[in-house]
Structure 1
Amino acid sequence: MRARRFLPNLSLLLAFDAVMRTGSVTAAAHDLSLTQSTVSRLIQTLETQLGQQLFLRQRKRLVPTDAARRYFGQISSALDIVQRASMSLIANPDGGTLTLAVLPTFGTRWLAPRLPDFLSANPGVSVNLATRFARFNFDAEPFDAMICFGHDDWPDARHLKLFDERMTACAAPDYLKNRPITGPTDLHDRVLLQLETRPGAWPAWFAGQGAAAPARPDGMMMDQFSMMIQAAISGLGIALLPDYLAQIEIAENRLQPILRPAVPGPGAYWLVWPKAKDDLAALKAFRAWLTATLSEAEHAS
């Protein structure tokens, strides 16, 4: 049994959430289509039920307390989960739902073009996608799984390896025409574009060329491969891209490969999910589809 006194009415929580988000009772009232007096009364009722002062009244303004800020972070996440669950039920009442966190560029360039095949093979399943860069706690986030880069070392989780990362150095055709590269040492005085989450990528690439990396490479730091691709196309430097991304740009003649392509990188792509969701039907279907898709690609190559 859930103790009702610890479960405030949804209207109270929505009023609190709106005041915290908008910063004022007036804006919250407009957001909720209520009167200002109604929103103020709902806030007072919530404070009475919790036995905590959530706002300081200063010159007709509500200033949130530290307790209110902590409470808002948790309540906001809970309301998001309720909203996502309701949206999924409305959109797909008869099938399963898979809520997946993905790396931004992987999601748009590798997963999205293949998702129609999964949805066609699993018509009862709907997929929700959101981008994440770093690890998170599955207990605190509304995700069933994540496609991430790294190693199979998430705690209390299952791992399905998708493929190892292989890196190809690329540059714009005009860049290479004006500054040709004949060997690894030619890169020592070039701008090497780098990704924040791949600090060991360039050293691994140089090792794959049988050469040592420059001690302090001249470069620009990026947080997404999509940004790095555009920087390289614009002639700002040399990009080091996962081969599945490099091949797209090479085929379109926006970039050209440099020296040995597809050098093994320092990690792999994984599907990771909490052990508690092993038997989630939509996730099982997705794992089976990924395994089959990757097997077909391996045999085709």
Structure 2
Amino acid sequence: MLKDINFNGLRYFEAVVRLGKVSQAAEELQVTTSAVSQQIRLLEQQFGVLLFRRRNRRLIPTEEGERLYNATSKAFRLMTDVQSAIVRQPQGRQFIMRVSPSFGVRWLGPRIKSFLEQNPNWAVRVDATPDFSDFETEIVDLDLRYGQETATGFHEVLVMQDFVMPMCAPSLLEKLREISDDPMEQIRKAQLIDSAKSVFRWDLWLNRYGGQSLSIPPLYQLRFDRSSMAIQLAADGAGVALESVVLAWRELSEGRLVPLSSQIDVIAYPAYRVVCPPRHTNRRIVRLFTEWVVEQGLEHMTEIRAFLKANGCRVVHEDGPASEGGSDGEKPARPEAQDPQ
């Protein structure tokens, strides 16, 4: 029962473990050393175990003390986060989102300035992390994530499709064309850059689109768990990457990457989504951001389609393949989405 927990004692205990000495804990807590020692004795009596052992004038937590400290420090951090959220801004004008690292840096980062200018009175925090939010225990307004699955029990809005195709540096393409005019033969001879946890990996793509000539996929030695790294290496001319046009847009638009061949279809499928609990849509800033990011997504898809058309590439639409994880190494999200970037 919560009424049986000595919260004051836990506060003193956490400080002693963190600082290593009763005297330093007492100084931080602005109490006497005897008060700290008394609370530690009360905790040990309550739990019926020793929580510390002495070593070189320092207090070292026992195994039981270490377990208690891990739980206590985690609980204190959570309580501190909640306290900060409550008092962080007048009227709570702070907006927190979580986004996958590559997508946050490569797509959202260059665009979010316009959203900040439209909403100058809001403090905006963006966490670029491969971890999906636990909306029940974390202070997050929404996730901007990648996936094809419907998020059961969650509100979600499709932001845009993704487009996947083989791409490489122009210098490498020239060398491959000297070998063969057949793009599948070029793939066979090229060094393939694999995004190890991507939705569309080379093995799947070759099996589905490579035809009989590539029924046995070639080996590839370059493998990364971040699309950003695979895209950079492809732009440096190290090999052919099967990657996201959305994420490689800067390199493609600047000509540092080019489609391997207009004979190879570009795969388009529903991808980036706003995901949050339905109750979060009551917040005006969540609605404003969702409207803004959907508009940005539509504009970018128009740019991508114009680029692909200019390069003679045909787009085919899919729902996307089944996959156990995303290309940033993420497990399926709580709303059963994947996040490759």
User: How high is the TM-score relative to the length of structure 2?
Assistant: 0.69
**Shift in Å, 1:121:** 1.7
Kept in 2, the 8 Å contact 1:150–1:269? The answer is yes
Q: 1:292 to 1:175 in 2, by over 3 A?
A: closer
The residue number in structure 2 matching 1:167 is: 164
The residue number in structure 2 matching 1:195 is: 195
**Shift in Å, 1:184:** 2.1
Deviation digits for residues 200-231 of structure 1 (CA, Å, limit 9, x no counterpart): 34356557866465544422321211111222
Kept in 2, the 8 Å contact 1:56–1:63? The answer is yes
Q: 1:125 to 1:3 in 2, by over 3 A?
A: same
The residue number in structure 1 matching 2:7 is: 8
Q: 1:277 to 1:117 in 2, by over 3 A?
A: same
Q: What is the distance in 1 between the residues matched to 2:204 and 2:131?
A: 22
Q: 1:205 to 1:211 in 2, by over 3 A?
A: same
Paired residues in the alignment total 294
**Shift in Å, 1:249:** 0.4
Deviation digits for residues 262-295 of structure 1 (CA, Å, limit 9, x no counterpart): 7225651111112332312321221122233334
Kept in 1, the 8 Å contact 2:99–2:145? The answer is yes
Q: Secondary structure at the match of 2:111?
A: helix
**Shift in Å, 1:72:** 2.2
Kept in 1, the 8 Å contact 2:133–2:140? The answer is no
Q: Secondary structure at the match of 2:247?
A: helix
Q: 1:89 to 1:120 in 2, by over 3 A?
A: farther
Residues 73-152 of structure 1: pairs in structure 2 closer than 5 A: 73=71, 75-76=73-74, 78-80=76-78, 82-83=80-81, 86=84, 89-90=87-88, 92-94=89-91, 96-152=93-149
**Shift in Å, 1:17:** 6.5
RMSD, matched Cα? 4.0
Q: Which has the larger radius of gyration?
A: 2
Q: 1:199 to 1:284 in 2, by over 3 A?
A: closer
Q: What is the distance in 2 between the residues matched to 1:47 and 1:259?
A: 74
Deviation digits for residues 120-170 of structure 1 (CA, Å, limit 9, x no counterpart): 222232221112224453223332211111123334311111112111322
Is 1:271 the equivalent of 2:274? yes
Is 1:292 the equivalent of 2:295? yes
Residues 170-189 of structure 1: pairs in structure 2 closer than 5 A: 170-180=167-177, 182=181, 183-189=183-189
Q: What is the distance in 2 between the residues matched to 1:127 and 1:216?
A: 46
**Shift in Å, 1:243:** 0.9
Q: 1:16 to 1:214 in 2, by over 3 A?
A: farther
Is 1:65 the equivalent of 2:63? yes
The residue number in structure 2 matching 1:25 is: 20
Q: Secondary structure at the match of 2:166?
A: strand
Q: Where do 5+ consecutive residues of structure 2 fail to align?
A: 307-341
Q: What is the distance in 2 between the residues matched to 1:200 and 1:43?
A: 59
Q: 1:17 to 1:246 in 2, by over 3 A?
A: farther
Kept in 2, the 8 Å contact 1:147–1:271? The answer is yes
Q: Secondary structure at the match of 1:245?
A: coil
Q: What is the distance in 1 between the residues matched to 2:246 and 2:192?
A: 19
The residue number in structure 2 matching 1:232 is: 234
Q: 1:280 to 1:139 in 2, by over 3 A?
A: same
Kept in 2, the 8 Å contact 1:188–1:214? The answer is no
Kept in 2, the 8 Å contact 1:204–1:264? The answer is no
Identity %: 22
Q: What is the distance in 2 between the residues matched to 1:282 and 1:155?
A: 23
User: How high is the TM-score relative to the length of structure 1?
Assistant: 0.77
Write the letter of the residue equivalent to 1:248: R
Q: Where do 5+ consecutive residues of structure 1 fail to align?
A: none
Q: 1:214 to 1:150 in 2, by over 3 A?
A: farther
Write the letter of the residue equivalent to 1:69: R
Deviation digits for residues 150-200 of structure 1 (CA, Å, limit 9, x no counterpart): 123334311111112111322223333333363123212432222233153
Q: 1:230 to 1:152 in 2, by over 3 A?
A: same
